[in-house]
Chain A
Amino acid sequence: MPRGLGHRRPGCLPGMKPGLLGTLGIDARLAALLGTLAAIWLGLHVLTDGIFLTPRNLWNLASQTAVVGIMACGMVLVIVTRRIDLSVGSIAGCAGMVIAVLQVEVFAPGTWWNPWLTLAIGLGVGAAIGAAQGALNAWLAIPAFVVTLAGLLIFRGVAWLLTSGRTVAPMDPTFQLLGGGFQGSIGAAASWVLGALGVAALAWLRLSARARRQRFGFTPRPLWAEAVTILLMSGLILGFVAVMNSYNRPRTDIAQGISIPVLVLIGVACVLEWLARTRRFGRYVYAIGGNPEAARLAGVPSARIIVAVFALMGFLAALAGAVATARLNAGANSTGELAELSVIAAAVIGGTSLAGGSGTVVGAVLGAVIMQSLDNGMVLLGLPSALRNVIIGVVLIVAVWADALWRRRAGGARGGEA
């Protein structure tokens, strides 16, 4: 899928007149995902007798999505290059344990630098593990599936060996903020400021891109369409902030605002989207996935790009592990267990093709939100976890099937759209 790559006007399928979405410049598949999400939310709201769509539940849902969402952003790039990373859950667990051991048992607890230094080391460990796995794949040509399956076993084991299975607690209070919780939100004022900044950045990005296209003599989208799009997206941003701000800390009337793990997820998604759309790196990631031989013949430094993608994935897995560890307030052996499955499922539900070459970061985040919504709603409904797994599995298959139908309709039968 070009889906998501800058040049193609999103929403405009080959051989079709750009419809309303095309004119507005909104990716039709993202719109479909948003529509699906809205339907799921309404359905769960009705089924749960009105407790699903409450500020409290949505605020929790957002925070619960962070860990899987952060990793799903990186997994998109891995899958786009026609590879897979099965080790993300274990890297998250291992990095979380490294941070916990260093923070609680090695460095002096209570110093201001302890949480920052241990976090930095943990993220570095994750990036290094990812880079090493990428190097094994890129330079020794060991399939990524095998390398990261080994990584899944190795780093889960390493995490256990670090403490012989002990749980390490408690974490530094500053570090705990990374996990959200009662203190770990930025409050109403800062949330509004961030929302306003987001709206301003969005308007500036779209209008400056429009101006630049005009300078090159392209007919731009009608100004009303641009305005409608910016208004719609601004509405989403500000609506999100409003919901986060209408949940108060328990037994107070102080608004929570956006929680720090959610902030981390938003930051990660923005950076990866920026990398994917506006940098050579992103262009090369998609080119490698579309046609590895063509990328090589075009002089794309494929091996280096692959190593970088896996290093980024390892870094994000460690970041997710840090968030989970902070949230749990302990380094535990179960951290990140089976997360690789949720992460891959989120990317796939978000429209990433396992055949490679297509997928978007925003889609993966939406995929993570959809998965977490289903899980959260089913917990509210009191369904046992075994049944929840059955339902999520069915949803995964339906999502991929719907995606395949879509592609067949949109992409024609020819290559690249497998």
Chain B
Amino acid sequence: MTTLVEMHDIHKQFGGVAALDGAELWLEAGEVLGLLGHNGAGKSTLVKVLCGAYPADRGEILLDGQRVEIRNPRDARKLGIETIHQTLALADNLDAVANIFLGREIVKWGGALDQAAMEHAGRNVLARLNPNFTNHHVPVGSLSGGQRQVVAIARAIQFQARVLVMDEPTAALGPAETAMVGDLVRRLQSEGMGLIIVSHDLHDVFSLCGRLTVMKTGRPVGHVRTEDVTQDDVLGMIIAGRMPVQTRAARV
């Protein structure tokens, strides 16, 4: 079986700053990968390269073993890559349903927006994530942080994706909603989707992810199976940028 996503030797400069300097990761179908690193390590930048927000200066991306060009967000979506951005990337003046379908509106014959159909589908996906979500008709700018995050997640799972990237998806969520996202991750995983989760919460990461990729200053520190390491080992990788000694052999 070929690997779902591979990113090799990705470089990205912003002005003089090398945000990515040879970053890499890979992801199998049905796998949850944790992407870890200190603030400014380049996690979001790597995610944005994968979703087409920034083209990489150098490096290659393979999907199912085939080299692909992802020049813009449309390309990524066409390839089945969905992203929940750290900033959520919501249009604050539009309501939840309009945000969920932004760029992929359902239209009637003749090209008119099918508001009722979108609202129907949008309400369903929102209800799956949070049964208490009732603010369907207010601009998302006036929703709470957690509600906004639910809208961003709903947008990513509304369309059949093969790869789902979540950049700190639970940062603003309460315990119940966080548990809901955990269940969601496991369900999508069992359906064969590949997921990449960026998070600083090691507890969540250890409970959800099968494998971890740690970055430091735009470079890969290492890739480990969650079962082979302790949280302290991973903290060492994040902070000191060193592979834990006893698991070096178990490096995958």
Contacts and interface: CB of A to CB of B under 8 A. Distances in A.
Contact of B141 (A283, A298, A417): A417
Nearest to A294: B89
Contact of A14 (B74, B83, B87, B135): B135
B87 A2 contact: no
A7 B168 CA distance: 29
B90 interface: yes
Nearest to B88: A294
A289 B136 CA distance: 20
Nearest to A277: B113
B102 A295 contact: yes
Interface stretch (B91-99, B174-182, B194-202): B91-99
Interface stretch (B16-24, B114-122, B226-234, B236-244): B114-122
Contacts of B51: 297
Contact of B102 (A15, A213, A294, A414): A294
B138 interface: yes
B139 A2 contact: yes
B102 A283 contact: yes
A1 interface: yes
B72 interface: yes
A194 interface: no
A78 to B, nearest CB: 16
Interface in A49-92: none
A299 B138 contact: no
Given A1-B93, A291-B91, A299-B72, A411 B139 contact: yes
Interface in A7-34: 7-9, 12, 14-15
A166 B180 CA distance: 74
A296 B53 contact: yes
A357 interface: yes
Contacts of B105: 280, 283
Interface in A193-244: 209, 212-213, 215-218
Interface string B132-173: 000111111111000000000000000000000000000000
A7 B115 contact: yes
A213 B116 contact: yes
A412 to B, nearest CB: 5
B112 A7 contact: no
Interface string B28-39: 000000000000
B111 interface: yes
Given A1-B139, A2-B138, A416-B139, A7 B89 contact: no
A297 B139 contact: no
A293 interface: yes
B12 interface: no
Nearest to B123: A218
A290 B94 contact: yes
Interface string B50-92: 0101000000000000000000111001000001010111111
B89 A8 contact: no
Nearest to B115: A6
Interface size class on chain B is 35 or more
B89 A290 contact: no
A287 interface: yes
Contacts of B250: none
B184 interface: no
A297 B53 contact: yes
Contacts of B113: 6, 278-280, 283
Contacts of A14: 135, 138-139, 142
A357 to B, nearest CB: 4
Contact of B95 (A8, A213, A291, A357): A8
Nearest to B51: A297
Nearest to A412: B142
B103 interface: yes
B135 A295 contact: no
A217 B111 contact: no
A6 B112 CA distance: 12
A211 to B, nearest CB: 9
Contacts of B83: 297
Contacts of B53: 296-297
A414 B142 CA distance: 6
B127 interface: no
B96 to A, nearest CB: 8
B67 to A, nearest CB: 22
Nearest to B120: A216
A69 B249 CA distance: 74
A372 B104 CA distance: 41
Given A14-B142, A280-B113, A415-B141, A358 B93 contact: yes
A5 interface: yes
A291 B142 CA distance: 14
B71 to A, nearest CB: 12
A171 interface: no
Interface string A243-278: 000000000000000000000000000000000001
A286 B77 CA distance: 22
Given A278-B113, A290-B141, 4 more contacts: A216-B120, A218-B119, A416-B91, A416-B141
3 nearest A-B pairs in the assembled complex, by CB-CB distance: A416-B92, A416-B141, A290-B91
